[in-house]
Amino acid sequence: MLSFTPSIMNWVPRRLWSPVLLWAGGGKLEVIGQENADPKRPTIYVANHQSTIDIPAHFMAVPVPFRYVAKSQLKWVPIIGWYLWIAGHVFINRTNRRKAIASLDEAARKIRAGTSIFLYPEGTRSEDGSILPFKKGPFALALKARVPICPVTIEGSGNLMPKSTWNITPGTIRVKIGKPIDTTAFAENDREGLARAVRAVIIADSLALGGKGGDPDDAVAAAGEEGVSDARKQALPLP
């Protein structure tokens, strides 16, 4: 694996292959709130997830060096996954709890070293564009590191490249970078409270960007589930 400085690591996708991927597919990018991203302050950026094309879009939209925390399957995706692996981004194996914890520990070390982290707390892409429940793990990381969380909202990418296809349809992707949320205002074990606060901002910004928003009550994902809230799982009848 090659060793890149964070600035070089983000320059390559931001200036080279991300613009090419969007241009080749006829995609346009509109960004609001870049002033909320501070390159001098380690931050955890969290975003809703609609499409594989979100990754190059966020490389272009968020003007700070960061490393992705992504699911291990992404490592094998051509261009995007290969680059993330070569550049030393963090991959999580969600089928193995021990390895998943080790990956979050690796992310924590990067934050302590001054590197910002970018992740998708839904854990999967939304098929219809609505905001899915958030997993609590990323928020435990933020509370442990006591660094700000910056909510990032993306809309339109699911129309350009839906979850079920590799075809890119021309269109516009809109990204809004929200104001950082101070994690020191939350108790160290209040993962759910922090997740709900961040998700509420992303839902509001999704609606403002013309998206579907999400159900505020389905805020937290059930343990071991993607796209299913804890509240809905508990409401299901027993088999």
pLDDT at 235: 47
pLDDT over 90 at 30, yes or no: yes
SS3 172: strand
Q: What is the percent of the chain with per-residue pLDDT over 70, rounded to a whole number?
A: 76
Supply the Cα-derived Rg of the chain in whole angstroms.
Answer: 17
Using CA atoms, how far apart are residues 41 and 158, in angstroms rounded to an integer? 30
CB 133 within 8 A of CB 123: no
User: What does DSSP say about strands 66-71 and 116-119: parallel, antiparallel, or unpaired?
Assistant: parallel
Average pLDDT, whole number, for the chain?
83
Write down the pTM of the prediction.
0.82
- The CA dihedral of 139, 140, 141, 142, to the nearest 10 degrees, is 50
CATH of 6-235, one of 3.40.980.10, 3.40.50.300, 3.40.1130.10, 3.30.565.10: 3.40.1130.10
Structure confidence at residue 230 as a pLDDT band (50, 70, 90): low
Structure tokens at 79: 């261009």
pLDDT at 61: 96
Structure confidence at residue 35 as a pLDDT band (50, 70, 90): very high
Mean pLDDT of 7-33: 82
Could you state, in order of their start, the residue ranges of all structural domains in the chain? Answer: 6-235
Using CA atoms, how far apart are residues 233 and 222, in angstroms rounded to an integer? 7
Q: Find the range with the poorest average confidence among 102-106, 111-115, 163-167, 222-226.
A: 222-226
